[in-house]
Structure 1
Amino acid sequence: MADITHIIDHARQVLTPGGWLLLEHGWQQGEAVRATFRRADYTDVETCRDYGGNERVTCGRITP
């Protein structure tokens, strides 16, 4: 989770305002990843499930 937090916190340095960050993560990390995105002031945070029904990819938009 430390690596994911680092990526979320530093993505603003390389993404343009309104840009999206999508992260693949472990199937039990969806809730924690969503919370990390929200703490970092991303919007439109949501998680997609894989074919097995597990939370697998979470995305968020950089606020303008």
Structure 2
Amino acid sequence: GTPYEILLDNAKYNLGEVEALLRKYGVARLYILLYYPESIAIVKVKYKPIITALSKITDGGKTS
């Protein structure tokens, strides 16, 4: 199912696209500080399956 919240690191990559998708599906956005290594590790590990799944149903992150 759709997650009810997601952690973001405030990086600017594809931020507009990510924000649009989160609004569309009603997912809450929680932000963490970039310089806090433990937070980044949590995001990378916890959301790896989501990133993998999204990559499989899209073009794998490639742009035309």
TM-score under structure 2 normalisation?
0.30
Instruction: Name the structure where helix makes up a greater proportion of residues.
Output: 2
Instruction: Name the structure where strand makes up a greater proportion of residues.
Output: 1
Higher relative contact order (CA 8 A, sep 6+): 1
